[in-house]
Chain A
Amino acid sequence: MVDIDLTKLAFESVVIGNDLKVAAERVVRPILTQASRCGYCSQDQFALRLALEESLCNAFRHGNGCDPDKRISARWAIREDVAVICVADEGDGFDPSAVPDPRREENREKPYGRGVMLMRAYMTELRFNEQGNEVCMIKVRKRSGARPTGT
């Protein structure tokens, strides 16, 4: 577990409609720009983008049920040592521990169910709120050359 108190971070935040194009412009782009400025290597930026996009897609589709009247909230703090990104939706939430392992043979041909696993693999730590409708993704900046663990 990363030793960081999320309540003490200075977050930037936005609330947007349930629209992935708007999310790409107002959430993904500024976060990746800040990560680049803070010196995150290309592998770390790939990881941040992948996990962030998975979280936004989950919020859009599963949390908000593709409902255009619902909203997505995002907040982030990008520091030179660690990046923290939180994405919340207006859904009922879910139990992340109940998501089946997509690597098991019986699940391998299912065309869904890999988003949370990818987020776990590419981030240092995920923290969900109790309701399960907000995920905070923590990425400790790595040296170039490090690979995601896949665990």
Chain B
Amino acid sequence: MSRADELVVVEQTDNGACIARLVPSNVLDELQITGIGRQLTDLVDQGARRLVVDFSRVDHLSSSALGMLITVRQGLSQVKGDMRLCNIRPEIYEVFKITGLDKLFVIQPTVTEALASLR
């Protein structure tokens, strides 16, 4: 169980994948973005190789947050892991599309579909 002050709520599935649900945060707070990145990186350091990042509670995004996700993805790639993003609302998806990151990240509609596509 995650602490209330954590920025990411993590759930481990039966087959070893990790679901990281991003908790809403002030996008201007660089420390929070750094904190989210650190928590996701810690998951990889602790052995997670299949990671699903759930955006269902995210209603805003910054380029700093995009950079953090790219860094996490690179860390996972180095250990031959993989990640999926899911539950991204349309206006947030638009940000990925405008920046071309819809071509870098695999984005799935739901957690279930994201987990299925990681198998």
B-binding residues in A (CB < 8 A): 20-21, 23-24, 28, 43, 46, 49-50, 53-54, 56-57, 60-61, 102-103, 108-115, 117-118, 121, 147-148, 150
- Given pairs A117-B98, A117-B99, 8 additional interface contacts (CB within 8 A): A20-B30, A50-B62, A50-B95, A54-B62, A57-B28, A103-B99, A111-B68, A111-B70
Q: How far is the CB of A6 from chain B (nearest CB, A)?
A: 25
Does B97 touch A at the CB level, under 8 Å?
Answer: yes
B28 adjacent to A23 (CB under 8 Å): yes
Q: Which B residues are closer than 8 A to A by beta carbons?
A: 26-30, 60-64, 66-68, 70-71, 74, 91, 94-95, 97-101, 103-104
**Distance, CA A34 to CA B49, complexed state (A):** 46
B95 surroundings in chain A (CB, below 8 A)? 50, 118
A34 to B91 Cα, complex, angstroms = 21
CB<8 Å pairs between A and B, sample of 19: A20-B28, A23-B28, A24-B26, A46-B60, A50-B60, A53-B27, A53-B28, A57-B64, A60-B30, A102-B99, A103-B99, A103-B100, A109-B104, A111-B67, A111-B70, A118-B95, A118-B98, A118-B99, A150-B98
Q: Kindly list chain A residues whose C-beta atoms are within 8 Å of the C-beta of B101.
A: 108
Residues of A close to B99: CB separation below 8 A? 102-103, 114, 117-118
Could you tell me if A53 and B62 are in contact, using CB atoms closer than 8 angstroms?
yes
Nearest opposing residue in chain A for B74, CB measure: A109
B63 touches which one: A46, A54, A150 (CB < 8 A)? A54
When the two chains form their complex, are residues B98 and A148 in contact, meaning their CB atoms are under 8 A apart?
yes
Select which of B60, B63, B66, B94 is within 8 A of A148 by beta carbon: B94
A147 to B29, CA, bound (A): 27
Q: Kindly list chain B residues whose C-beta atoms are within 8 Å of the C-beta of A60.
A: 30
